[in-house]
Structure 1
């Protein structure tokens, strides 16, 4: 993976190659590799010391989420750690949803406000709005109330 990461960095340094034109796999490597290297570095340093692997292997066995990259996790560990990560992400979902709802009455167009109310009702009920419903409200996301610059920075 490190070789792929270096190849990708060299390729991205060329002016004709853009990040948004890369494949999903290349984007994953570009995003996760630096964090994986930071996570694995302590174990590599301890292992470099004579007889350090006698310490590094048991420690990494007991703390795989913190000291090993996901390549070394078992399927069960991937499921458990994925659930932990999802809980952390969902912890912020409700406050962001409530903040978006509170901005509803700042929408100037009455029709758009009604459409957003229906979408918020669906989301609150656990139903996903259709793609067409969201695309109809695209102008409000582009330069209106729900533009990224208008949302609180702690929620972005």
Structure 2
């Protein structure tokens, strides 16, 4: 419809040459009137407005249908509505994360920045998005065949912790799933302390040997050590035996960071070293920002990454613990990164250690009773997968 309109407009422009005896006045008036009339006709015959109107109509119709569908689910199937709403919001968060990562990568390329030069939130965004995309990639591949998305939806419904990232968890699921992950991490606290006590017997310097033994004994008795007591053994990590640990010990330490223990020994050491360096860089950036600048969600996520279960604690307790962690981290060098990973046990095993919140001391691992197993399985589900945080 645009082409006939243009032809008609071109013919109407000749009115200024045909009308009137006084060419100057009437010609000028006719040209102005013809231009206005021509523009009105061009707008009338243009295809832009109809297309825009059709697009708006389709968009509004889709929104109306979607709102009615959500209202129906909320009224008749509230549980399905909760899953639908969580999935919709999670998809928006993923797309926003991808956009943020693209913006950060563009900034790094244009300004010649490295990851360690980024501010804390950008560094944490890169870390989280990389892990989340790696976990969701198998699910996306499974949904590629025709009609396979229905099977994927069923799997997501029955196995949300194993297949979905925290973006698609409800607040209740997030508390339960994080608690389950943390229970897997806590199992390695006592074995690591026992191994450190055994390694302390190989230390030839008497005062340092005594400090490490006292430190491990305090944690096993249910006390959280001070920053000075942890930093008092830092010299041990610059020489044997703590700078050359066995692969078995490193597998246990990797379990604190949710790293898979099923990889070959050299890959376990490489991944553990990379994650420890990444944690040091995050701590440097967080110290520059300040823990008080984090909101509640960021604060709990930061504490959980560093070995603490934040949900039973208040915001002030989380902020206090994170400040203590940063005091230890900011004093360590790259060669002492293993002490930072051992501090996950030192600082979080018994926190909070006040009189009202004192936890029972660590004891040897015991097999849970039949009732405990059934209750844990009913609330938390099956064993979690690795590498989610």
Q: Tell me which interval the TM-score lies in, with the shorter structure as reference length.
A: 0.7 to 0.9
Q: Structure 2 CA distance, aligned partners of 1:27 and 1:40?
A: 20
Aligned partner (choices 20, 31, 55) of residue 116 of structure 2: 20
- Change in Cα spacing, 1:32 to 1:14, as seen in structure 2 (3 Å) is same
Moved more, 16-25 or 101-110: 16-25
Number of the residue aligned with 2:178: 82
TM-score for the superposition, normalised by structure 1: 0.80
Q: Give the unaligned 5+ runs of structure 1.
A: none
Aligned partner (choices 122, 127, 132) of residue 218 of structure 2: 122
Look up the SS of the partner of 1:103 in the other structure: helix
Moved more, 10-19 or 22-31: 10-19
Contact 2:104–2:122 (Cα < 8 Å) also in 1 = yes
Contact 1:43–1:60 (Cα < 8 Å) also in 2 = no
CA offsets 1:93-131 (integer angstroms, 9 cap, x no match): 222221111011111221112222211111111211111
Number of the residue aligned with 1:153: 247
Q: Structure 2 CA distance, aligned partners of 1:52 and 1:130?
A: 54
Higher relative contact order (CA 8 A, sep 6+): 2
Q: Structure 2 CA distance, aligned partners of 1:103 and 1:42?
A: 41
CA offsets 1:10-66 (integer angstroms, 9 cap, x no match): 445578423233333333332232332233234434555555544433331222112
Look up the SS of the partner of 2:236 in the other structure: helix
In our comparison, the structure showing a higher alpha carbon Rg is 2
Number of the residue aligned with 2:136: 40
- Change in Cα spacing, 1:105 to 1:59, as seen in structure 2 (3 Å) is closer
Q: Structure 2 CA distance, aligned partners of 1:118 and 1:65?
A: 39
Matches within 5 A, 1:62-81: 62-81=158-177
1:7 CA drift (Å): 3.2
- Are residue 103 (structure 1) and residue 196 (structure 2) matched? no
Q: Structure 2 CA distance, aligned partners of 1:87 and 1:5?
A: 32
Contact 1:46–1:56 (Cα < 8 Å) also in 2 = yes
Q: Structure 2 CA distance, aligned partners of 1:142 and 1:125?
A: 27
Contact 2:190–2:220 (Cα < 8 Å) also in 1 = no
- Change in Cα spacing, 1:88 to 1:120, as seen in structure 2 (3 Å) is same
CA offsets 1:46-92 (integer angstroms, 9 cap, x no match): 55555554443333122211222211101111111111211222222
- Change in Cα spacing, 1:41 to 1:113, as seen in structure 2 (3 Å) is closer
- Change in Cα spacing, 1:51 to 1:105, as seen in structure 2 (3 Å) is closer
- Change in Cα spacing, 1:54 to 1:137, as seen in structure 2 (3 Å) is closer
Q: Give the unaligned 5+ runs of structure 2.
A: 1-96, 251-389
